[in-house]
Amino acid sequence: MVEIITDSAADFEPWELEKYNIVCIPLSVTFGEQEYWENVNLSKDQFYQLLLGTHTSPKTARPSAYTLERILGAAQQDGKESVVITLSSALSGTWEGVQLAKTNLNYTDCCVVDSRIATGGQRILVEYAVRLRDEGRSAAEIAQAVQELRPRISLFACIDTLEYLRRGGRVSAAAAAIGGLTHIKPMISVSLDGNVTIPEKALGRGHGMSRLVTHVKSQPPDESFPFYVMYTHYRDNALVLADRLNAEGVSVPPERVINVGAAIGSHVGPGGFGLVYVTQGHDE
């Protein structure tokens, strides 16, 4: 059987990783001098408690070479093929680190996929890889199928401020100033090359929520794939959005309302909400 490996930016809960037999590479976040690892000694709720309790920006880092070689090496020693699906290489050095670990181990049966996305979008790709693994596909077949699906994934979100993205160098100070205006809520997406974009702005949370619903109407989802509503810390925003989508005929059961973890939450901050899904049609 093929080993499916991802990093914690895919925002699976520990019990889900066990249920789907997914190996997770924990990403780290540092507050001051204290370093934490997602799903190891830091839950999502604990992360936001730390984030809201400090004025210091947390720092995220890619996994160490030792960690990556240990995880890939375990699959190699078991004689398994593997598919590793990482956080977008435009947002993290994890993909580059996995490629290096694969080379150092001479692990030829390992296929490394740059998701070019994060959180729920990365999760959709991993779940698709699990589905193909369970159908008996090879690592190469899974990796190719995952890469072909990626252009159809749409991620759109409304965040409370661009300040956290500015601190992490993801957007310019000028762009971040938009979020400082009264009632202006930035709308963010992820481009096909894996970078964060700011396609528009909303006049408050209600307008942002309406824009998300309109987006789904204009680009209908493929119902053979899961549809996720995401949030950073404040679940009520996501539940309201899920109710509005359910009223429009888009099924979003409670288990598909997910909290975004430290890897992305460090750069987005609390108070965000959004959606991610696979659109209908063929790749362009």
> pLDDT tens for residues 214-262?
999 999 999 999 999 999 999 999 999 999 999 999 999 999 999 999 9
Domain 3-150 matching CATH 3.40.605.10: the answer reads: no
Is residue 267's pLDDT more than 80?
yes
Q: Which tens digit of pLDDT belongs to each residue from 166-214?
A: 665 555 555 555 555 557 888 999 999 999 888 888 888 899 999 999 9
Give the per-residue pLDDT at 164: 74
Instruction: Count CB-CB contacts under 10 A for residue 10.
Output: 29
CA pair distance 227, 257, nearest whole angstrom: 9
Residue 24 has φ and ψ, to the nearest 5°, of -115, 130
The predicted structure's pLDDT at residue 284: 40
Q: Are strands 22-25 and 3-7 parallel, antiparallel or unpaired?
A: parallel
Q: How high is the pLDDT of residue 221?
A: 97
Residue 282 pLDDT > 80, yes or no? Answer: no
Per-residue model confidence (pLDDT) at position 177 = 58
- Amino acid (1-letter code) at residue 279: T
Per-residue confidence (pLDDT) for residue 180, from 0 to 100: 55
- The verdict on domain 152-278 having CATH code 3.30.1180.10 is yes
Phi, psi of 185 (to 5 degrees): -115, 120
Ranges in the chain annotated CATH 3.40.50.10170: 3-150
Q: Is the pLDDT of residue 274 over 90?
A: yes
CA angle, residues 266, 273, 177, in degrees to nearest 5: 65
- Give residues with Cβ within 8 angstroms of 220, minimum separation 6: 279, 280
pLDDT digits (tens, 9 = 90+) for 18-63: 999 999 999 999 998 999 999 999 999 999 999 999 877 899 989 9
Does residue 192 sit in helix, strand or coil? coil
Higher model confidence: residue 202 or residue 165? Answer: 202
Looking at the chain, the domain(s) classified CATH 3.30.1180.10 span 152-278
pLDDT at 128 over 80: yes
Tokens 């499916």, located at residue: 4
